[in-house]
Amino acid sequence: MIGPTVTARVALYARVSTSHRGQDVGLQLDELRRVAAQRGWSIVAEHVDEGRSGADRARPALADALEAARLGHIDLLAIWKLDRLARDTRHLLDVVSHLEEYGVGLVSLRDSHIDTSTAQGRFSLQILSSVAELEKEMIRERVRAGLERARRRGVKLGRPQVALDMRPVRAMLAQGHSIRETARALGVSGRTLRRRLAKEERLPRPEGVQKPQGEDGA
């Protein structure tokens, strides 16, 4: 991190998902510039993603800001609000992790405790990270509990079985076609067809019905 007597080189990052509904990237930039002047930061770049959702991780301006951080061109990345940078906690923590790796701090103007150039700011992010991990674990627990309840009710879990008429399958195999050829002709995968054939092999075969020919074909 930079020392107290060194002018911080800062990149500003702003984002709006749409220019309608009162959203204006200029409002974010104006406040960021004003705070930069108050704190004596030297603005070296302004990165703006317009018309891009916060859920979109592949934003060109954000990528440029992270590349500037990687190359050592900046000391701080300043944003107006955390949701301008990322819409979910996991993505936010990924970005912060990259910035920390590059020795670059993050400052969010509207989130007063988020300033990773300070001990308090880093502590706030640690709390945010812990909350994210707790939320993820709670989701896992809910999923596991839901699956267990479904099993107890006798609900069959897993992918639904592909509807497949086995009569043309048997006919093509009896004519000497391979499983691969048969599956391609019927528009299913070879794996699906092999599973259905294996399942039929485990079922009692009606008297007089012979095993289809060609089941061992590739």
Residue 19 pLDDT greater than 80, yes or no: no
Residue spans of the domains in the chain: they are 9-132, 159-218
Q: What is the mean pLDDT of the chain?
A: 79
Residue in 188, 193, 192, 189 with CA at minimum distance from that of residue 214: 193
Average pLDDT over residues 37-45: 94
Rg (CA), the chain: 29
| Structure confidence by residue, pLDDT tens digits, 117-164 | 777 777 776 776 666 566 667 777 878 888 788 778 877 666 666 667
DSSP the chain: ---TTSPPEEEEEEEES-SSTT--HHHHHHHHHHHHHHHT-EEEEEEEEES--TT-S--HHHHHHHHHHHTT--SEEEES-HHHH-SSHHHHHHHHHHHHHTT-EEEETTSTT-BTTSHHHHHHHHHHHHHHHHHHHHHHHHHHHHHHHHHHTTPPPSSPPPP--HHHHHHHHHTT--HHHHHHHHTS-HHHHHHHHHHHHHSPPPTTPPPPTTTT--
Q: Which CATH class is domain 9-132?
A: alpha beta
> Which residues are known to be catalytic?
17
pLDDT tens digit string along 175-207?
888 888 888 887 888 888 888 888 877 645 444
Long-range pairs for 31-39 at CB < 8 Å and ≥24 separation?
Answer: 31/80, 31/109, 32/78, 32/79, 32/80, 32/109, 35/78, 35/109, 36/10, 36/12, 36/78, 39/8
